[in-house]
Structure 1
Amino acid sequence: MSDLAPKTPVLQLTGVHHSYGDTPAVRGLDLSVGAGEVVCLLGPSGCGKTTALRIAAGLEPVRAGSVELDGVIVTRPGEIMPPENRNLGLVFQDYALFPHMTIAKNIAFGLPRGVDTAGRVKAVLEQVGLSDYAGAYPHELSGGQQQRVALARALAPEPRIILMDEPFSGLDARLRESVRDRTLHILKRSKSAVLMVTHDAEEAMHMADRIVVMRQGHVEQDGTPDSLYLRPVNGFVAGFFGDVNRLSGRVSGGAVDTPLGVFDANGLPEGGAAQVVIRPEALALSGEGSGAVQVKVLASRMLGRTSLIHLCTCQTTGQELHLHARMPGRYLPDEGAMQSVKLDRSQVFVFPAEGAT
């Protein structure tokens, strides 16, 4: 389901099915990417996101459905247009640079005849900030620089769409942040449609105009980063965007009663099993007063911009319910201290039990 109407599609996958032997990989996938739009396929390993990207690239066939580029069908059962005829750029996880070629020759490789090769190579090297490295070889560059070369090579033919498979996964955390930020600005200036695969929710939120969350070969939710974070359709989507607290209960009188309070069941059937999903930042802690909910501190850890506090309700409810709270800045109550909880209910979600696992 999507909460955002896509722009005029450059890439359109409709009802796509694909299997490896008897194992389904993609099941009934519908996906659109518009001009100038960055769409991220997000999900755990084995969910079908890389297979979907390879189908879009023309590297995998389909058993059912179709792929269109600019309204032209390029893949359907029994027919597949090869990648080199699709006017697309590919950026792989390992960058796939030729070690025996200079950076300039790596970028020029694959440019169509009739193109001003030297001019185009110079232009894209300037675009990615590597003008001084045209004569260097891949092994002489850092991982972040190699990633930018791979991006420059993908941009060189001025493709209508760029496909990126986990492009930042080989970089260390600090470098990854700076490289992906620069990459986003480059992609936006290019006006190309972009489809990117990642398993990192924070990366998807940083890069994407839309995120498509996949599980077991199909789409769980499709929407803007803020809509998926604030209005997840189930506990799987909610939990994919960071640590969550999960509380179980049953619907009684249209509500679910938990140690942290009573929550509207949102129309779930009476007597049915439910799961309440609460983000750690929804728990605001205070050592003062005697709030309606009291929790015991098990451990406190400073994480930089936030503090993570491990809690339990064991002393007040007799239940071994362990919780996490995330507080801004430095907040490190002593182990064993009692804390009052004030809950931000906009970050509390109630789902059927089977949909929250």
Structure 2
Amino acid sequence: MQDVKHSLPPVIELRDVSHSYGDTPSVLGLNLKVHPGEVVCLLGPSGCGKTTALRIAAGLEPVTAGHVLLDGVPVSQKGKMVAPENRNLGLVFQDYALFPHMSIAENIGFGLTDKAKAKDRVVAVLKQVGMTDYAAAYPHELSGGQQQRVALARALAPEPHGILMDEPFSGLDARLRESVRDRTLHILKESGAAVLMVTHDAEEAMHMADRIVVMRDGRLEQEGTPDTLYLKPKNGFVAGFFGDVNKIAGTVAEGQAATPLGSFPSGGLKEGAAVEVVIRPEALNLSPVSSDAPARVKVLASRMLGRTSLIHLCTCETSDQAVHLHARMPGRYLPKEGELQSVHLDRSQVFVFPSEGAT
């Protein structure tokens, strides 16, 4: 069945968009669409071009090639650009950019052109973000989480078709970030706006996004739903971006990639090809040594991390290929240093890719 959101025309669309800072390319041939009611996250390391892509959509950076369309209407192309204030987009940036000399109500109402309806609209969005009691307060009187909600309210106030968010939770501490982004997601979904958000935090992207666009060196590396990217990564870069992974170098022999933890189908890679076997830590299921286990490992250290235990392992005493591995076990599982453990693998979380740089 077709997704209802994707049956509607996109609100935000970038077609073959490129951008350079001087002679340095920052975005290369990027294509993406954001539909009404959809949250799309641009995810990638610092310098990959994700914030530049957001600024291009906002009209804060020009394109050197390609087009930006909003509601199907071209707003950016080489040599021509519609001003940010004429794009019907709400903007939420890292520092929130609230006016310190204005009350919260005045901040939210600042960009509303219909002054006759502005007061009612301010009241409505304050209620929507749970900040009704703070209408007369000033930004310096609010916590970071409250300021973030005010910035969101200001972006929602003009009832834009699209909202752009650049690392909106990065200034919050870890515990507050989780609760604020959860509330923000519900507010965004209620608004029905198309949302394009930038983050470098994979867990945050998975929490917020209907779709994730992973970027590297200005290009789209892989796009899909959070579960698709986690379960079917295109390469080791994408797999590693969604959490700690074990990487073991290998070579294809008779259609298999051999490792100290067993051999895995090479997916049709040619004989003798250099490969990287990527194994998620939660794929390693440890238990006291048993005769039926296909592999054994030595415990280097065990640490309780709350909901899971992290066990540092090595194949140094059980294989001629010494590999340092991490395993994550649910709950409390703390085998002693130097102890041998049996490993049973969840092969659905093992991936074989061509080595980076291999031809």
Tell me, yes or no, whether TM beats 0.5. Answer: yes
Asked if the contact 2:5–2:35 (Cα under 8 Å) also holds between the matched residues in 1, the reply is no
Asked if the contact 1:4–1:223 (Cα under 8 Å) also holds between the matched residues in 2, the reply is no
Number of aligned residue pairs? 354
Deviations 1:106-157 (A, max 9, x none): 0001111355111000000000000000000000000000000000000000
Counterpart amino acid of residue 297 in structure 2: V
Tell me how far apart the structure 2 counterparts of residues 96 and 28 of structure 1 sit (CA, whole Å).
Answer: 31
Hey, what does 1:22 align to over in structure 2? 23
Percent identity over paired residues? 75
Residue 165 of structure 2 aligns to a residue whose secondary structure is strand
Hey, what does 1:12 align to over in structure 2? 13
With 6-15 and 33-42 compared, the bigger mean Cα shift is at 6-15
Divergent runs of 4+, >4 A: 3-7
Tell me how far apart the structure 2 counterparts of residues 243 and 70 of structure 1 sit (CA, whole Å).
Answer: 39
Hey, what does 1:271 align to over in structure 2? 272
- The partner residue of 2:350 within 330, 348, 351 is 348
Hey, what does 2:152 align to over in structure 1? 151
Hey, what does 2:63 align to over in structure 1? 62
- The partner residue of 1:311 within 297, 310, 313 is 313
Hey, what does 1:302 align to over in structure 2? 304
Tell me how far apart the structure 1 counterparts of residues 72 and 127 of structure 2 sit (CA, whole Å).
Answer: 32
Asked if the contact 2:246–2:278 (Cα under 8 Å) also holds between the matched residues in 1, the reply is yes
Tell me how far apart the structure 2 counterparts of residues 141 and 5 of structure 1 sit (CA, whole Å).
Answer: 36
Q: Alpha-carbon deviation of 1:319?
A: 3.0
2:183 is equivalent to residue 182 of structure 1: yes
Tell me how far apart the structure 2 counterparts of residues 295 and 200 of structure 1 sit (CA, whole Å).
Answer: 31
Structure 1: gaps spanning 5 or more residues: none
Report the aligned-residue RMSD. Answer: 1.4
Q: Alpha-carbon deviation of 1:289?
A: 1.1
Asked if the contact 2:245–2:280 (Cα under 8 Å) also holds between the matched residues in 1, the reply is yes
Counterpart amino acid of residue 318 in structure 1: D
Tell me how far apart the structure 2 counterparts of residues 272 and 147 of structure 1 sit (CA, whole Å).
Answer: 50
Q: Alpha-carbon deviation of 1:246?
A: 0.3
Counterpart amino acid of residue 120 in structure 2: G
Hey, what does 2:232 align to over in structure 1? 231
Residue 317 of structure 1 aligns to a residue whose secondary structure is coil
Hey, what does 1:321 align to over in structure 2? 323
With 286-295 and 187-196 compared, the bigger mean Cα shift is at 286-295
Residue 174 of structure 1 aligns to a residue whose secondary structure is helix
Tell me how far apart the structure 2 counterparts of residues 337 and 204 of structure 1 sit (CA, whole Å).
Answer: 38
Residue 186 of structure 1 aligns to a residue whose secondary structure is helix
Q: Alpha-carbon deviation of 1:355?
A: 6.5
Tell me how far apart the structure 2 counterparts of residues 355 and 27 of structure 1 sit (CA, whole Å).
Answer: 20
Superposed, which structure 2 residues align to 1:23-102 within 5 Å? 23-102=24-103
Deviations 1:143-187 (A, max 9, x none): 000000000000000000000000000000000000000000000
Asked if the contact 1:274–1:352 (Cα under 8 Å) also holds between the matched residues in 2, the reply is yes
Counterpart amino acid of residue 12 in structure 1: E
Tell me how far apart the structure 2 counterparts of residues 29 and 253 of structure 1 sit (CA, whole Å).
Answer: 38
Asked if the contact 1:234–1:355 (Cα under 8 Å) also holds between the matched residues in 2, the reply is no
Asked if the contact 1:280–1:326 (Cα under 8 Å) also holds between the matched residues in 2, the reply is yes
Structure 2: gaps spanning 5 or more residues: none
Deviations 1:68-112 (A, max 9, x none): 001100000000000100001000000000001000000001111
